[in-house]
Structure 1
Amino acid sequence: MEILGSTFDDSVFSEVRDRVSVPLSSYNAKLCEPEWFCESTALDTDDPLETQKVYKFRGDLAVRQGKYQKALDAYSSCLEWIADNNLTIRRDVLEGMARCCTRLGQRDRALDLAELLSKEASNTCHLTSLLLLKISIYQHFGFLGSKMSSLQQLCSLLPFNPWHWNSLGQTCLQLLERDTTAGLCWPQRCKSADEQKQNHTQTEQQQEEAAELDKNHIWLKACTCFIRTRLLLRILRQQQSSFVLQRSENTLQSSDEALQQLGPKESTLQALTEVMSEDLIPDKMREDYQDGESLLSVCVQSFRERWWNKILQTGVLKTDCSSCQTQTDTKS
Structure 2
Amino acid sequence: MLRMEILGSTFDDSVFSEARDRVPVTLTGYSAKRCEAQWFCESAALQTEDALEKQKVLKFRGDLAVRRGDYQTALDSYSSCLEWIADNNLTIRRDVLEGMARCCTKLGQRDRALDLANSLSKEASNTCHLTSVLLLKAGIYQHFGHIRSRMWCLQQLCNLLPFNPWHWFSLGRMSAQLLEVHTSAEQEKAAELSEDRTWLKACACLIRTRLLLRILRQQQSSFVLQRSENTLKASDEALRRLNPPESTLQALTEVMSEDLIPEKMREDFQDGESLASVCVQSFRERWWDKILLTGGGEDRQALRT
Which bracket does the TM-score occupy, shorter chain normalised? 0.7 to 0.9
Structure 1 residue 97, shift from structure 2 partner:
0.1
Aligned-partner Cα distance in 1 for 2:205–2:229:
17
Structure 1 residue 281, shift from structure 2 partner:
0.6
Structure 1 residue 265, shift from structure 2 partner:
1.2
**1:203 aligned partner:** none
The 5 A counterparts of 1:149-168 are: 149-168=152-171
**1:295 aligned partner:** 275
**2:58 aligned partner:** 55
**1:245 aligned partner:** 225
Aligned-partner Cα distance in 2 for 1:80–1:296:
30
Structure 1 residue 289, shift from structure 2 partner:
3.2
Distance 1:176-1:22 versus aligned 2 partners, 3 A rule: closer
Contact 1:43–1:51 (8 Å) recurs in 2: yes
TM-score, length basis structure 1 = 0.79
Pair 1:91-2:71 in alignment: no
Structure 1 residue 81, shift from structure 2 partner:
0.6
Structure 1 residue 223, shift from structure 2 partner:
0.3
Aligned-partner Cα distance in 1 for 2:192–2:269:
28
**2:125 aligned partner:** 122
Helix, strand or coil for the counterpart of 2:244?
coil
Pair 1:142-2:136 in alignment: no
Tell me which stretches of 4 or more aligned residues in structure 1 moved more than 6 Å: 21-25, 323-326
**2:37 aligned partner:** 34
Distance 1:110-1:263 versus aligned 2 partners, 3 A rule: same
Higher RCO (C-alpha 8 Å, min separation 6): 1
Contact 1:124–1:289 (8 Å) recurs in 2: no
Aligned-partner Cα distance in 1 for 2:231–2:278:
30
Aligned-partner Cα distance in 2 for 1:246–1:28:
42
Unaligned stretches of 5+ residues in structure 1: 6-11, 13-20, 182-210, 327-332
Aligned-partner Cα distance in 1 for 2:124–2:276:
11
Equivalent position to 1:104, from 104, 107, 115? 107
Equivalent position to 2:301, from 322, 328, 331? 322
Aligned-partner Cα distance in 2 for 1:292–1:229:
22
**1:263 aligned partner:** 243
Equivalent position to 2:172, from 169, 173, 194? 169
Structure 1 residues 230-262: Cα deviation after superposition (integer angstroms, max 9, x where no partner): 100111111122222222122111111111111
Equivalent position to 1:71, from 69, 74, 84? 74
Alignment length, in residue pairs?
Answer: 281
Aligned-partner Cα distance in 2 for 1:161–1:98:
25
Structure 1 residues 93-147: Cα deviation after superposition (integer angstroms, max 9, x where no partner): 0000000000111111000100111110010000000000001101111111101
Distance 1:270-1:76 versus aligned 2 partners, 3 A rule: same
Contact 1:176–1:215 (8 Å) recurs in 2: yes
Structure 1 residue 29, shift from structure 2 partner:
2.7
Aligned-partner Cα distance in 2 for 1:128–1:218:
24
Aligned-partner Cα distance in 1 for 2:117–2:158:
19
**More displaced, 224-233 or 28-37?**
28-37
Contact 2:208–2:256 (8 Å) recurs in 1: yes
Unaligned stretches of 5+ residues in structure 2: 6-12, 14-23, 185-190
Contact 1:68–1:103 (8 Å) recurs in 2: yes
Structure 1 residue 76, shift from structure 2 partner:
0.2
Distance 1:30-1:278 versus aligned 2 partners, 3 A rule: same
1:143 partner letter: H
Equivalent position to 2:195, from 215, 219, 225? 215
Structure 1 residue 23, shift from structure 2 partner:
8.5
Contact 2:200–2:295 (8 Å) recurs in 1: no
1:98 partner letter: A
Structure 1 residue 286, shift from structure 2 partner:
2.2
Contact 1:49–1:82 (8 Å) recurs in 2: yes
Structure 1 residue 88, shift from structure 2 partner:
0.6
Equivalent position to 1:280, from 260, 266, 287? 260
Structure 1 residues 253-295: Cα deviation after superposition (integer angstroms, max 9, x where no partner): 1111111111111111111111100000111212323321100
2:254 partner letter: E
Contact 1:153–1:303 (8 Å) recurs in 2: yes
TM-score, length basis structure 2 = 0.86
Equivalent position to 1:234, from 188, 197, 214? 214
The CA RMSD measured in Å over matched residues stands at 2.6
